[in-house]
Amino acid sequence: MSQTVRASSADRPQTRDQGRILLITDDPATAAYGAALEGAGFAVVGVAGGAAALVSLRRTRPHLVVADATLKGIGAEELARMLAQSQECVPLLLIGHAAATVLRREAAMTAGAFDYFALPQEVSLLVQRAAQLVGQKQLTDRLRAEADRDYLTGLMNRRRFRTALGQEVERWRRYSLPCALLLVDIDFMKRVNDTHGHSAGDRVIRHTASALVELSRDNDTSARLGGEEFALLLAGAGDAQAYAAAERLRHVVSGTPVEGVGTITVSLGVASCPVHATHERTLYAASDAALYRAKDEGRDCTVVAPLIGAAQTAAV
């Protein structure tokens, strides 16, 4: 039955503002109530079990999770705790066939859910509460996106970048997935502003940002750290992939002249985890030091940080 819910959602065209609800249940009878949520205008994703829910949660990025209170594989309390601790803070509603007594609703809220609804008696209440929570989550997401974006380029700002950097390094610690950091600096930016004016300087900054967006994958993070400095955080990339990405970026930036300015170049510093650093601070420091070397070596080039052992030997 959960397969039917997923298929019907996929067949319906989704709009940008449409709320996404992740429905987690092992019970076909419970999964059938996804149709009521779809009928209210939500995009519903049916999941057949708790283990699949963890994968689907990241892939679908829902505004609300509706889960069976008797879910197998992952308990309601564990699921609520995981959602509460995630950066997205996705709200959770529990559903089931047992009566929605005061004690059962209190237990759901104590576990971290927003409420519990009995099916089929309270389907209409479930839909109304879902609409409230989805609307609140969408508003929160919009406000967060505005707070996380650089006003000039639309890229992530320094605050959001720092959060993403910590998350990627933590992913390496837990799952042994490498990551890499590219720090990018526009060459001779002061000369551009002094010669052509700050409006031309803004065009140069936006030109560089567009190159970052062009070369970023969906799971990468491109950011403007301030002034003429940018960052590109590559998920799941080692040092060789990072160097190749840096060189592609360098050639894309210089490959198209900027109106009223001409050709511009960038310098790049590259470091990856775990071969160059094993902590977010040291990864940033290694990439930053490599960027300074690129500047010292004549600009318009990419420098890779030394390996951890080589860096320690050089320090001695």
Q: Which of 146, 179, 202 is the last residue of a domain?
A: 146
- Cα angle at 87 between 113 and 177, to 5 degrees? 120
pLDDT digits (tens, 9 = 90+) for 125-167: 999 999 999 999 999 888 877 788 898 999 999 988 999 999 9
Prediction pTM value:
0.61
CATH number at residue 192: 3.30.70.270
Going by pLDDT thresholds of 50, 70 and 90, the confidence category of residue 85 is low
Active site residue 228: yes
The answer to whether residue 286 is domain-embedded is: yes
Give pLDDT, residue 12.
47
**Rounded Cα–Cα distance for residues 220 and 246 (Å):** 13
**Confidence (pLDDT) at 50:** 61
Domain count, the chain: 2
Residue 263 gets which letter from DSSP? -
100 and 182, same structural domain? no
The tens digit of pLDDT for each residue in 216-257 reads 988 899 999 999 999 999 999 999 999 999 999 999 999 999
Q: Are residues 218 and 108 in the same domain?
A: no
Domain boundary residue, one of 87, 114, 146 = 146
Least confident of 18-22, 96-100, 283-287, 308-312: 308-312
261: phi then psi, degrees, rounded to nearest 5: -125, -45
List strand residue ranges (DSSP E) for the chain, in order.
20-24, 43-47, 64-68, 92-96, 115-118, 179-186, 221-226, 229-235, 266-273, 302-304
Catalytic residue among 88, 228, 229, 247: 228
Burial class (CB in 10 A: 0-12, 13-18, 19+), 221: buried
Domain of residue 23, residue span = 2-146
Which is more confident, 61 or 119? 119
Does the pLDDT at position 49 exceed 70? no
- Does residue 224 share a domain with residue 118? no
Distance CA 17, CA 1 (A): 27
Mean pLDDT in residue range 99-123: 93
Q: Which residues of 23-62 are buried (b: 16+ CB within 10 A; e: fewer)?
A: bbbbbeebbbbbbbbbebebbbbbbbebeebeebbeebeb
Residue 153 placed within a domain: no
Listed residues 97, 116, 146: the one ending a domain: 146
CA pseudo-torsion sign 307, 312, 315, 316: negative
pLDDT digit string (tens) for 154-210? 999 998 899 999 999 998 998 899 999 999 999 999 999 999 999 999 999 999 999
Query: Are 121 and 220 contained in the same domain?
Result: no
The answer to whether 64 and 58 have CB atoms below 8 angstroms apart is no
3-state secondary structure of 181: strand
Task: Please check whether residues 28 and 62 belong to one and the same domain.
Answer: yes
Indicate the DSSP class of residue 156: B
Q: Which residue has the tokens 């089931």?
A: 96
